[in-house]
Structure 1
Amino acid sequence: MAIRVKGSTTGAISDAQGMYSINAPEGSVLIFSFIGYNTKEVTVGGQSVINVSLDVAQAQLEQVVVIGYGTAQKRDLTGSIVSIKGSEVADKPSANPITSLQGRVAGLTIVNNGRMNTDPDIRIRGTNTINGVKPIFVVDGIINDNINFINPADIASMEILKDPSSLAIFGVRGANGVIIISTKKAAAGQTAINFNSTVGIKKVTDRIKLTDAAQFKTLFDEQLANQGNPAYDYTNWQANTNWQDQIFQDGVLNYNNLSISNATDKNKFYAGMGYTTEQGLIKHEKLQKITINLNNELQVSKALKFGVNFSGYRALLPVTKDVGGAINAAPIAPVYNEEYGLYHTLPSFQRAQVFNPMYDVELRKGIARNLEYRAVGSVFGELKLMRDLTFRASFFVDYGFNVNRSYTPLITFYNPEINPPRDSVTKLTSVSQEQNIYTKVQSDYLLTYKRSFGHHNITALGGFTTYYNSYEKTSSTVQQQKGRPIPNDHRFWYANGNIGDATTLRGDGRAWDMATLSYLVRALYGYKNKYLLNASYRLDGSNAFQAIGNQWQRFAAAGVAWVASEEDYLKDVSWLQYLKFKGSYGVLGNQNVGDRRYPAYPSLTGANSGIFGDNIVVALQPEYFVDPDLHWETARSWEAGFELTTLGNRLRAEVNYYNKLTKDILVIIPATGLSGGVGEMKNAGTVSNKGFELMLNWADKVGEHWSYNISGNLTTIKNKVEALNRKGFNIIDGPSWTQEGYPIGYFHGYIHDGIYQTQEEIMKSPVNELGEVKPGDIKYRDVNGDGKINADDRTIIGNPTPDFTYGITATVSYKQLDFGIEGQGVYGNEIFRSWGNISTFAQMNYPLYRMDRWHGVGTSNWEPILHTGRGNNTYNSTYNIEDGSYFRIRNVQLGYTFSRKQLDRIGLQSLRLFANAQNVKTFKRNSGYTPEFAGGSTSFGVDNGSYPLPAIYSFGVNVNF
């Protein structure tokens, strides 16, 4: 048991028998606490012995969580809100804290990306629409679409809202889920200075397996022979280059954070500052970022309170590179020619399409300067009108300003096949310049009524909120003046006619703005802490549909819960501490439809021109016609489940079934013969997502010094497009199709049914109408059984949405030592591999699996013959499909927290050292760098040789003065 004097640093720890000794003056307050039990406070009188007994805690139930426009105790909720403490992600190095939630929350799917400054792909309870699927963020009250400006060390808590009863209060923004982030505030009665620092290294652990020079020559020679072409002359191409080794590096990262807080009865002040430097996995990629977080709260009187928050951000963004060149470049090409001091060109069979990978890495290093600035601030005033009635007015502003400048240098390669051997790739220098500004302004005016009387508890909220956001961008380019290259110095990277050729100066720009006005009400009611009701309603008005008079939409939800364990006949059941049954239903909205911000205001596009005499008049027509009933998308969502705490509070479980039907999805219906070639925008789509969520947690203490915790979660996902205008209508994005009756973004193609071994087998097989086939070609399945292979035999060949996702976390501590491990994975999804395929435009390096190609009867029944002219082998098929299931050891951490006795010697309040390993090992079956691939709503899970996800090994320190 821990004992400390309230408002001071004096403390003690009891022994196994509960004995303790502490110096506490009369009138002071002792705080007694222990894991799994309720904290108790006792005022010291004249006694010399104070005995206390602690009640078993219902910590998860009494926990206060942040909900939309307020807070509530978790026990009073009727839906599924998961709260994550900031301390749980603060010591896991990541510039974006959301990445650390991967595998931690049921219903939350996160696809991480190893590329710096790239947001993870986040989906809550599936892919809800063919348009935007990203949830919104609410940071200290302001609604946002990203959290790049937040320092992970300044986060106090994150709440993930998934169910309709908690999301309906967000109206037209709630359908895709909400992540609420609260930053740290000063704790009452103390001054604290905290410093934490992490230093680490990031590595590429899983590389794509490609042929080396000898293997490449074997396959290329065989391919040329198969095609009847002469052998290639390798005289100038005798290298054996591993291009992945050339471009990759072990990147170093360093995160430093300092915070100071002070609190009195009247004033609470917190200041945090962070500085981050991080190198990428490809040479010369580097991120530098500075963050500032300030907040102050002043209690003017018992009835009046004011507060201010500010978050500032400045980042010098990395010039990120791609890995495609290293995958495609032939290994027979040398890297560099020492005699001429030039990087080597690639062989003629790929020179026009593929550059030496060092072109991007070395020759174009430092050719861009991209700066991001962000200032997010808010002020609020809170007035207690009566004992139970509070009015709060808040005003928020988010201002972002980005400046991007890039330079195209003169670049020359060494080419041994020309004389002199200098091959100029770029002959003119040029400069591109871009600036963009985005602004968000939000104001909330809320009345909150909170009262308990008898067995009744009620919290009611009402008010209105406004939101305005805008964006504007200008860009320009200029080329060099004749004979006067623009210097490769960022002081000259400005698009103007003095530095460059004024006749080549070009400019462009765009802008948009949106505004909403919303009215909202919500009521939380509880009777005897066992019968709970949650109801909310929101009326959203938007200028996006003002032209057709549909600017108002209504959203609402209701949730009920029964805390069965509060019933008299269950209170004495020794093994049952808590049991709640819950359910909710709501209508949610989605205005996150990508770049189509004004659906009722179609853009103008070119149409047939008219000729009047000698004049040609250019005609314009709307991009589409507008359905007069057009409105934002809506989702009918419901869930049902239960929460259980049992076995002496050791075991906690939560099970939910969710069912979300997104209706009125915005779709552009193709033109018919009567529409003059112009389609129509309608609410014509429906997508369903349903499944189960299971969360389990076991916590216990063994003896005096040992404690452990094991938790796990599992989410099933069943996604289906229920309607999309009409049967047969589909949205095609490469191999990804979205069509009624199938999962959204499913992979469409032929089924690989083996390799034709002989001409006799071809004659006995269904007739291939796709083109001529010969032995060694892929044999496709006759799906419809009509004896022919044609486009009608294409079908679903893979689903990028997994059957289920899961995560597991285990921690154990002994005295001051703690150890934790996290794992996460997905099962049942497929990946479409788009790299390593046959190209008719250039010869690329071969994936190593092509060594198993067909080169005679019986040599292979999967890998086709080496031949770029066999068009039959280039169709999308299960040949491109790989298993996307994987399990990853996500995080391993070992930490040591110094004891009070040790700290007294060095004059610190607390000190913790920790070592951390992220992405230690991924057990996967695909051939790419990683098994997880982000994307849009209708195209995801496609592996195009994406950027690797690194393993990160780090060491950190966290100290309080």
Structure 2
Amino acid sequence: MTSYSFKTKQKYLVLLALCNLAIYIAIAQTPQNKNDDVINATYQRSFNEDSIVLLHKEMPKERLLQATATVYTPQLITTPAPSFLQALPGRLSGLYTRQRSGFQDTDNPTGIIDFKIRGQIPIILVDGVPRDFASIDPESIEAITILKDAPATVMYGQRSSKNIILVTTKRPTTQPFQMSVTAQRGIQDFLTRSKPLSAADYAILYNEARNNDGQLPVYSASDILAYQNGSDPLFHPDNDYKKYFLNKNAALDRYNVNIQSGNQIAAFYVALDYQREGGFFNTADINSYNTNTGTDRYIVRSNVKVQLNKSLNVGLNIFGRIQNANQPGATTTNVFNAITFTPANAYSIFNPDGSLGGNDNFSNNIYGMLNHSGYYKSTLRDLSSDIEITQKLDAWLKGLWIKGNLSYNNTVDQTVNRSKNFATYRLSIASGAPVYTQIGTNTNQPNTLSVDTRRTYTYSKLSMGYDKTNGRNAWNALLLADHQATTINLQLPATYTNIAANLAYSFDKKYFAEASVSYGGHNRYKPRKRFGLFYAGALGWDLSKEAFLSDAEWITQLKPRISYGLTGNANVGYYVYDQYYNYWGSTAAYYFGATPALARGFSELTLANPNATWEKAHKLNVGLDAIFFKNKLQLTTEYFNDTYFDLMQIRGNSISLLGQSYPQENIGKNRYSGFENSITWNSGNENAGYFITGNISILKSKVLFMDEVLRPYDYLKRTGLPVGQPFGYIAEGFYQSQEEIDNGPIVDGYLPKPGDIKYKDLNNDGYIDQFDETAIGTKKPLLYYGATAGFNYKGFNLSISIQGMANNEIVVSNSYNSTTSSLEYEFQGGTTGQLFEHHLGRWTPANATSATYPRLTLGGNPNNHRASTFWVRKMDYLRIHNVDIGYVLPARLTQKLKLDAVRIFVNGFNLYSFDSQNYLDPESYNSIFPLRRTYNFGINIKI
């Protein structure tokens, strides 16, 4: 069944490619316009147009007054990463990113990287259409732009507050036929920092923890000696699970072919992309199927443009993708958990008879999880098609046009389950003869297919525009109406409907004004309460065009600008204005008297909120764009002050007496403000050049209102503090003696012992309780930055990019039993979990004054493991994000090979991080999946 399914998917892509190929052949056979000879003569097939030197690009008219930042293809293709989002860190002013996990096999953008613009999680638009996939091959992307202020986003109605990442794919152009072929081979490894203890050290500390809890030790001196000298590997193993079960590296291969050509009648761009990620698990070759992780991704993209007559243009864009991912039946997450949290002395991997070792505490043998648990195979299929028809209406009014867009997107994520259980065996020789006790059972593999997610998007837009220049006056007007319907699984469609208008005016290219308005609605709100009005306006003045600066030829542009607007965000659940009920069925038992009786009926779920409405934001932006020295130096600086109100929150003063969950209401109010600055210097010619560009952003947030419970002390209040400010206790070292405990405040629900964390009694009432919590961690504005520098000289080129963060503090491990913890706490996941190198610094009477960790205990310690300043970690870092080195073969050599150009390159991704952490990564601190570093080699050939 899976084989048939895979072949069907292959046919799906092949059919799509053949259909597109027929279109391209037809276009190629179209007679060339007489001007094509001129085009051929002036067109130079070289890498100059893809040079890493950043030349100034004129900002589009519609963004003359808007706060935006853009990165182009040459910067994207230097990063060997599966998702284009991973190429963005440090490159765009105002974009905050955090690589939160090194997990493979996912296309969920937030699953691998956090990204925010001015404190908000943005929506992703691909060619103007909301889409939620991130696996787009970088070579098909023309540019990525982030839209940050009200004029840039307000026309998106009830999605305008969240800010936008706008991905623009390459469009067909009028040019001779060109083919570009790229082949890359990458090697990935883990940026692992955790340092698990050896079996002997674990046994010593485990005994110590039991002693601290008043229990007898379980490991004797002879046990510990056997762990140290390796004399009894069967009953005293010292396993290095990472060494046994993780490969040092995994392959990342990519192959890309794109073809483009066109004349004044028709043009096309087509790209075929294949990417394969190898698995990191060290699996045995004992199955007829693959149990390792791995991903195969196939992408077909085509963009076609046909000029039917002088005034009518038709564009057709098609995107198809199949992504096949494999993992062991035990699942990748569970295997990583076992590798991370299983002590080195847990069990012998194999028993003498070849069976899998295990015991009551550790029944999941990692070798068995990788090789005897079957496998899962998931398939993600995407198909999207866009058609665009543009009609110029110059015959009626010069500069007038009308455009229609229609888009369809379908995503299906399905999984084939062929997992199975396996047995492990506990070996005992107490009676002299070996006795094997089976733990668990062996089961056969099922063969089931489940559809995990099915998403369908339809989007339509009708727009009309007018562009007019009359002397020193220039007008740009746009009127549009759009509609999007999104269906996820069996839910009713969620629809956005929007009418918007924009008017931009400039006088003498010196004075600029822009106004936008939108009337947008969302069907998840109560009827007759679904639409809202949003607006924005902007003014700008290019001082460089004034007479008093006419002699300053070194000034190309000096344009201050200001904007203000009201935006919206439809943050609402599934028809929350209706009340929903839960049916008891015939299984709910209630006691009436002494005997239980079955009861049938309905109970109310979360209370309805018929007054729910969209969240809103007032956004102010003040910016300056400056260009000096004939475009060599470019500066952009922004100040923003965004106030978000009517935020959906649950009232803090709600009480549980009602017996039901309270709904979210429009009551919250937050403010985000800060500065964003970018600077670029570039200089050079076709033989040599260099550039350096940098950006720095400062983000400050503040809770202006939240419905808090009554708090008797000001230091307990959340209002007025940064959004998401963590709270906890102020740690004052460790208790050093029983006398210190007796003379100190009483800890609620706990009897401290020497070596426990001591907390400050903030209200001086003699008790450590909830009234002693306060804001912990920094309150300073978050600072994030990036820089890219490079040069090219006679065929050689080099670029280096860095990114970093400051004033970044977190409170680690707030959930003791979390399987995605930062490995801070001892014995994670229960009472027998692994220990790590930093636990060697635990408090003991012998090292009381130099201890760096509290005394060890088994299980969660309600005193030591509560959130406090002891667990605050400074996560500032500077990361070498990307390095790319390339060489373009001399033209005399490529001409002999009848090629246009050949570039050989090597690059690296996530190469090194400068930070103060020894065992926590400053970005993926709460993930068991380490970040990945990639070294990559490739060649690009243009024909």
The corresponding residue for 2:193 is 207
The corresponding residue for 2:243 is 245
TM-score when scaled to structure 2?
0.84
Distance 1:114 1:278 in 2: 13
For residue 394 of structure 1, report the CA deviation from its aligned partner: 1.0
The corresponding residue for 2:33 is none
| Residue 140 of structure 2 is aligned to residue 124 of structure 1 | no
Which runs of structure 2 are paired with 1:327-346 in the superposition (5 Å)? 327-334=340-347, 336-337=349-350, 339-345=352-358
Q: Which has the higher strand share?
A: 1
Distance 1:205 1:676 in 2: 48
The corresponding residue for 1:721 is 703
For residue 29 of structure 1, report the CA deviation from its aligned partner: 6.6
Which runs of structure 2 are paired with 1:546-945 in the superposition (5 Å)? 546-547=526-527, 549-592=528-571, 596-605=573-582, 616-628=599-611, 630-669=612-651, 671-672=654-655, 677-701=660-684, 705-727=687-709, 739-798=718-777, 803-834=782-813, 835-838=823-826, 841-856=830-845, 858-868=848-858, 871-928=862-919, 930-933=921-924, 943-945=925-927
Distance 1:241 1:726, change over 3 A: same
What residue identity is the alignment partner of 1:893? D
Q: 1:416 aligns with which of 420, 427, 438?
A: 427
For residue 266 of structure 1, report the CA deviation from its aligned partner: 0.3
Distance 1:125 1:165 in 2: 15
Distance 2:928 2:603 in 1: 40
Ranked by relative contact order (alpha carbons within 8 Å, sequence separation 6 or more), the top structure is 2
Secondary structure (helix, strand or coil) at the match of 2:620 reads strand
Offset from partner CA, 1:581-614 (integer Å, 9 cap, x none): 0111111121255xx2433235434799999998
Distance 1:371 1:802 in 2: 42
Distance 1:280 1:745, change over 3 A: farther
Contact kept in structure 2, 1:237 and 1:333, CA below 8 Å: no
Distance 1:224 1:890 in 2: 45
Contact kept in structure 1, 2:826 and 2:835, CA below 8 Å: no
What residue identity is the alignment partner of 1:99? Q
The corresponding residue for 2:180 is 194
What residue identity is the alignment partner of 2:239? T
Secondary structure (helix, strand or coil) at the match of 2:755 reads coil
Secondary structure (helix, strand or coil) at the match of 2:864 reads helix
Contact kept in structure 2, 1:778 and 1:862, CA below 8 Å: no
Distance 1:804 1:335, change over 3 A: farther
Contact kept in structure 2, 1:392 and 1:445, CA below 8 Å: yes
Contact kept in structure 1, 2:347 and 2:362, CA below 8 Å: no
For residue 181 of structure 1, report the CA deviation from its aligned partner: 1.4
For residue 843 of structure 1, report the CA deviation from its aligned partner: 1.9
Distance 1:582 1:458 in 2: 18
Secondary structure (helix, strand or coil) at the match of 2:208 reads helix
Secondary structure (helix, strand or coil) at the match of 1:529 reads coil
For residue 321 of structure 1, report the CA deviation from its aligned partner: 1.6
For residue 257 of structure 1, report the CA deviation from its aligned partner: 0.7
Contact kept in structure 1, 2:346 and 2:362, CA below 8 Å: no
What residue identity is the alignment partner of 1:866? L
Q: 1:398 aligns with which of 387, 409, 415?
A: 409
Distance 1:205 1:615 in 2: 56
Contact kept in structure 2, 1:719 and 1:801, CA below 8 Å: no
Distance 1:883 1:861, change over 3 A: same
For residue 541 of structure 1, report the CA deviation from its aligned partner: 2.0
Offset from partner CA, 1:217-242 (integer Å, 9 cap, x none): 22223233333413326475422222
Which runs of structure 2 are paired with 1:400-479 in the superposition (5 Å)? 400-417=411-428, 420-426=435-441, 428-429=443-444, 433-435=449-451, 436-472=453-489
Contact kept in structure 2, 1:80 and 1:162, CA below 8 Å: yes
Offset from partner CA, 1:559-596 (integer Å, 9 cap, x none): 11111111111121143221110111111121255xx2
What residue identity is the alignment partner of 2:440? V
Distance 1:609 1:374 in 2: 46
Secondary structure (helix, strand or coil) at the match of 1:753 reads strand
TM-score when scaled to structure 1?
0.82
Distance 1:237 1:740 in 2: 57
For residue 746 of structure 1, report the CA deviation from its aligned partner: 2.9
The corresponding residue for 2:87 is 100
Secondary structure (helix, strand or coil) at the match of 1:153 reads helix
Offset from partner CA, 1:47-85 (integer Å, 9 cap, x none): xxxxxxxxxx99636244xxxxxxx365xx112111211
| Residue 360 of structure 2 is aligned to residue 361 of structure 1 | no
Distance 2:877 2:613 in 1: 40
For residue 340 of structure 1, report the CA deviation from its aligned partner: 2.9
Identity of aligned residues (%): 24
Distance 1:917 1:800 in 2: 35
What residue identity is the alignment partner of 1:459? N
The corresponding residue for 2:9 is none
Root-mean-square deviation (Å): 3.2
The corresponding residue for 2:153 is 167
| Residue 522 of structure 2 is aligned to residue 542 of structure 1 | yes
Distance 1:750 1:772 in 2: 17
Distance 2:347 2:789 in 1: 49
The corresponding residue for 1:524 is 504
What residue identity is the alignment partner of 1:600? Y
What residue identity is the alignment partner of 2:472? H
For residue 796 of structure 1, report the CA deviation from its aligned partner: 2.1
Contact kept in structure 1, 2:426 and 2:439, CA below 8 Å: no
Contact kept in structure 2, 1:625 and 1:681, CA below 8 Å: no
Distance 1:351 1:170, change over 3 A: same
What residue identity is the alignment partner of 2:76? V
Distance 1:738 1:390, change over 3 A: farther
What residue identity is the alignment partner of 1:107? G
Offset from partner CA, 1:379-398 (integer Å, 9 cap, x none): 12111122211011111000
| Residue 938 of structure 2 is aligned to residue 952 of structure 1 | no
Distance 1:653 1:115, change over 3 A: same
Distance 2:492 2:518 in 1: 25
Offset from partner CA, 1:395-427 (integer Å, 9 cap, x none): 100011222122341311232248742533345
- How many matched pairs? 843
Contact kept in structure 2, 1:637 and 1:658, CA below 8 Å: yes
For residue 27 of structure 1, report the CA deviation from its aligned partner: 12
Which runs of structure 2 are paired with 1:365-384 in the superposition (5 Å)? 367-384=375-392
Contact kept in structure 1, 2:571 and 2:648, CA below 8 Å: no
Distance 1:603 1:886, change over 3 A: farther
What residue identity is the alignment partner of 2:669? T
What residue identity is the alignment partner of 1:461? L
Distance 1:916 1:673 in 2: 58
Distance 1:821 1:590, change over 3 A: same
Offset from partner CA, 1:63-111 (integer Å, 9 cap, x none): 44xxxxxxx365xx11211121123212321221111011111110122
Q: Which has the higher helix share?
A: 2
Distance 1:84 1:753, change over 3 A: same
The corresponding residue for 1:3 is none
Distance 1:440 1:801 in 2: 41
Offset from partner CA, 1:123-152 (integer Å, 9 cap, x none): 333434xxxx3x11221232223333x222
Distance 1:707 1:228 in 2: 71
Distance 1:550 1:515 in 2: 14
For residue 728 of structure 1, report the CA deviation from its aligned partner: 5.1
Contact kept in structure 1, 2:496 and 2:522, CA below 8 Å: yes
